[in-house]
């Protein structure tokens, strides 16, 4: 079977697996049917058990959306159980959304299934001091894929200090042992609730001190990174409110992107690289910038409304393909944020790309554009960061 056909079947399988299922949005939960565990965690009295998190007064089933078998190996992406003090999560760490095809010219590693076992404190406690983020996993998104701190192995900022092809358009990539991970806000991670910028963002994951990580929005039209005064985010990217207590927010486009440190008491069993743990928040390091010239010059229009199909024009500059000439013909695959191109045509140095924006697409954050040319040998990759966003209404 050709690699193109195989890749197409894989992506079709992922698309089927991402079809909506019943969530906490669809059917309010009667608290009388739940057994309280500790903190904000509850479990259903049904079999199989469903775990709920009390989020600002509502009981949210965070994980059922992600308890599928994305790689079709007979094992669910995420499996849950608990003991007296912890929610215990077993994860394959396998993305349940489209990704770039790895290895490629920007990354020699392949995505591999993992065997993670994480323990989240049911009742997280704030610490008297901040614990510095280690290398390797620092938390987990709801789909079981892990977050890494903002730095790559050599210590450089992996988001701002490298070529744009470093991460795929879902904001992830695999490292040497095949662990696919996110260094910044993972725009492709689904939540039971929409994140439309009209209210506080939903939870997208958890840090290994047990505190939840929310999307970028604090309230209608206000991102948490823009808060001032007493409600401003601390150096860990967290703050407290009366409904949620202490929690973290992702900060698109602003260091530290996900977490700046652990404000809570860290559960040490989750940490692989314990030798570099110390106190204090991390500090930015984007020195040694090694960005390649940008072959993708523009995406027009730069915004579109969700729930509709749109034609985008992507302009390429062959003169910027400094290492090898820009391949002829259309790329095999184009993805903008979580949206894969339905149709790709090339006319000279312009691509005509049709995409359908999902009804539940994140609002107001910038997406990356990523394309791949198959050809012979190593797959050729071109990417431009922060070039497209989804809006609630058509822009003038």
In a domain, 235, yes or no: yes
CA distance linking residue 337 with residue 389, whole number of Å: 9
Angle formed at CA 300 by CA 299 and CA 303, multiple of 5 degrees: 95
Whose CA is closest to 333, among 101, 12, 18?
101
Same domain assignment for residues 246 and 107: yes
Q: Do the domain assignments include residue 187?
A: yes
Helix%, strand%, coil% for the chain, nearest 5 = 10, 35, 55
Given a contact cutoff of 8 angstroms between Cβ atoms, the answer to whether 223 and 195 are in contact is no
Q: Is 194 among the domain residues? A: yes
Region 143-148 average pLDDT: 97
Same domain, yes or no, for 301 and 256?
A: no
User: What DSSP assignment string belongs to 148-173?
Assistant: E-SB-TTSSBTTTSS-GGGS-TTSEE
Range of the domain at 313: 296-391
Domain identity same for 273 and 309:
no
Top-confidence range, 236-245, 269-278, 320-329: 236-245
pTM recorded for the entire structure: 0.90
Residues 275 and 214 in one domain: yes
Has residue 158 been placed in a domain?
yes
**Cα–Cα distance between 341 and 311 in angstroms, integer?**
10
Residue-wise pLDDT tens digits, 54-65: 999 899 999 998
Overall domain count for the chain: 2
pLDDT reading at 1 higher than 50: no
| pLDDT above 90 (res 225) | yes
Identify the helix (H) or strand (E) that includes residue 357. Answer: none
- Asked, for residue 64, whether it belongs to a domain, the answer is yes
Q: Residue 18 pLDDT > 70, yes or no? A: no
pLDDT of residue 288: 53
d(CA 320, CA 248): 39
CATH of the domain at 304: 2.60.40
DSSP state for residue 175 in the 8-state scheme: -
Same domain, 227 and 361: no
Most confident of 17-21, 174-178, 193-197: 174-178
pLDDT of residue 23: 41
Mean pLDDT across the chain, nearest whole number? 88
Report the distance separating Cα 71 and Cα 159, nearest Å. 27
Last residue within a domain, chosen from 289, 312, 347: 289
53-104: per-residue pLDDT in tens? 999 989 999 999 888 888 889 999 999 999 999 999 999 999 999 998 899 8
**Beta bridge mates, 146:** 140, 181
Residues 378 and 229 in one domain: no
131, 279: one domain: yes
Find residue 206's DSSP bridge partners: 140, 212
174: DSSP letter: E
- Position 396 scores a pLDDT of 53
Tell me the two tokens of residue 313: 């024009």
d(CA 368, CA 383): 7
Residue 191 placed within a domain = yes
User: Same structural domain for residues 248 and 386?
Assistant: no
374, 272: one domain:
no
Residue 33, C-beta contacts closer than 8 angstroms, at least 6 positions apart = 44, 45
Domain boundary among 289, 324, 345: 289
Q: Cα–Cα distance between 244 and 372 in angstroms, integer?
A: 42
Q: Give a yes or no: residue 396 inside a domain.
A: no
Residue that finishes a domain, picked among 265, 289, 313: 289
- Cβ(247)–Cβ(238) under 8 Å? yes
Q: Cβ neighbours of residue 222 under 8 Å, at least 6 residues apart?
A: none
pLDDT over 90 percentage in the chain: 70
Q: How many residues does the chain have?
A: 396
If asked whether residues 186 and 302 sit together in one domain, one would say no
Comparing 107-111, 196-200, 202-206, 378-382, the range with the smallest average pLDDT is 378-382
SS3 label, residue 165: helix
- Considering the domain architecture, whether residues 94 and 29 belong to the same structural domain is answered as yes
Does one domain contain both 259 and 335?
no
49 to 86, 160, 203: CA distances (angstroms):
15, 42, 20
pLDDT of residue 321: 86
Degrees to nearest 5, angle at CA 273 with 155 and 188 = 70
Give the pLDDT confidence score for residue 154 in this predicted structure. 78
């Amino acid at each position: 079977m050709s690699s193109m056909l195989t890749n197409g079947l894989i992506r079709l399988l992922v698309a089927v697996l991402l079809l909506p299922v019943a969530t906490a949005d669809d059917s309010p939960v009667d608290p009388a049917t739940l057994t309280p565990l500790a903190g904000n965690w509850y479990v259903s009295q049904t079999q199989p058990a469903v775990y709920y998190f009390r989020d600002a007064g509502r009981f949210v089933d965070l994980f059922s959306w992600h308890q599928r078998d994305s790689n079709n190996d007979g094992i669910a992406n995420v499996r849950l159980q608990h003991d007296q003090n912890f929610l215990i999560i077993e994860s394959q760490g396998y993305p349940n959304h489209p990704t770039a095809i790895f290895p490629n010219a920007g990354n020699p590693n392949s995505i591999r299934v993992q065997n993670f076992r994480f323990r989240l404190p049911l009742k997280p406690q704030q610490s008297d001091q901040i614990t510095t983020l280690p290398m390797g996993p620092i938390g987990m998104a709801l789909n079981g894929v892990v977050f890494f701190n903002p730095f790559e192995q050599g210590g450089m900022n992996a988001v701002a200090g490298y070529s744009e092809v470093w991460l795929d358009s879902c904001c992830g990539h695999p490292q040497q042992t095949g662990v696919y991970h996110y260094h910044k806000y993972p725009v492709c991670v689904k939540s039971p609730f929409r994140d439309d910028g009209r209210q506080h963002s939903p939870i997208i994951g958890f840090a290994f001190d047990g505190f939840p990580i929310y999307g970028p929005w604090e309230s209608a039209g206000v991102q948490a990174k823009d808060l001032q005064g007493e409600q401003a985010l601390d150096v860990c990217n967290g703050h407290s409110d009366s409904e949620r207590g202490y929690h973290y927010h992702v900060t698109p486009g602003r260091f530290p992107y996900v977490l700046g440190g652990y404000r809570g008491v860290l559960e040490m069993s989750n940490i692989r690289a314990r030798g570099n743990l110390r106190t204090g928040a991390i500090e930015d390091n984007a020195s040694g910038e090694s960005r390649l010239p940008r072959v993708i010059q523009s995406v027009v229009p730069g915004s579109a409304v969700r729930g509709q199909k749109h034609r985008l024009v992507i302009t390429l500059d062959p003169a910027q393909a400094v290492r090898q000439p820009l391949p002829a013909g259309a790329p095999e695959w184009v993805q903008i944020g979580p949206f894969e191109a339905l149709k790709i045509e090339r006319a000279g140095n312009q691509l005509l790309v049709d995409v359908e924006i999902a009804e539940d697409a994140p609002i107001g954050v910038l997406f990356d554009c990523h394309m791949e040319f198959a050809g012979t040998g190593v797959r050729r990759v071109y990417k431009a960061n922060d070039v497209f966003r989804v809006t609630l209404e058509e822009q003038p």
